Amino acid sequence: MNAELKYKDITEKVIGAAFEVHKFLGNGFQEVIYQRALAYEMFKAGLAFEREKEQEIYYKDLDEPIGTRRADFIVEGKILVELKAIVQLEDVHLAQVLNYLKAYKLEVGLLINFGSKSLTFKRLVL
């Protein structure tokens, strides 16, 4: 299977749920509002997910974690979903998702931005 299409069925459902949220709420709310609405829409779509999933971050050969990070969602145990509510996505946001993918040992992530006039998203694959 082409890596770009891996878990396409799941990511399409998540993106569809995000469009539903943006269609109803538009832009201008805080990220947590979109997160709660997206959780509702993903539940309605029959997707299993964990919200605010915390992951320990390790550095080199250290036995103890150097910190933790929280992903907005892990969907079906396979897809990392990170939300933003900002005017425009920047490279630093893409780097954040790629770093989270490595930390969570996942291959596919979605970066979804509710803050612009139109919903924007990026599908990232390691």
> Domain ranges in the chain?
3-125
**Which residues sit opposite 124 in a β-bridge?**
109
Could you tell me if 107 and 2 are in contact, meaning their C-beta atoms sit under 8 angstroms apart?
no
Please answer whether residues 63 and 45 qualify as being in contact, where contact means their C-beta atoms are separated by less than 8 angstroms: no
**Cα(68)–Cα(39) distance, rounded to whole angstroms?**
22
Give the CATH fold of the 3-125 domain: Trna Endonuclease; Chain: A, domain 1 (3.40.1350)
Please tell me the pTM assigned to this model: 0.90
Instruction: Quickly count: other Cβ atoms within 10 Å of residue 121's Cβ.
Output: 19
Span 9-54, pLDDT tens digits: 999 999 999 999 999 999 999 999 999 999 999 999 999 999 998 8
Distance separating alpha carbons of residues 96 and 91, to the nearest angstrom: 9
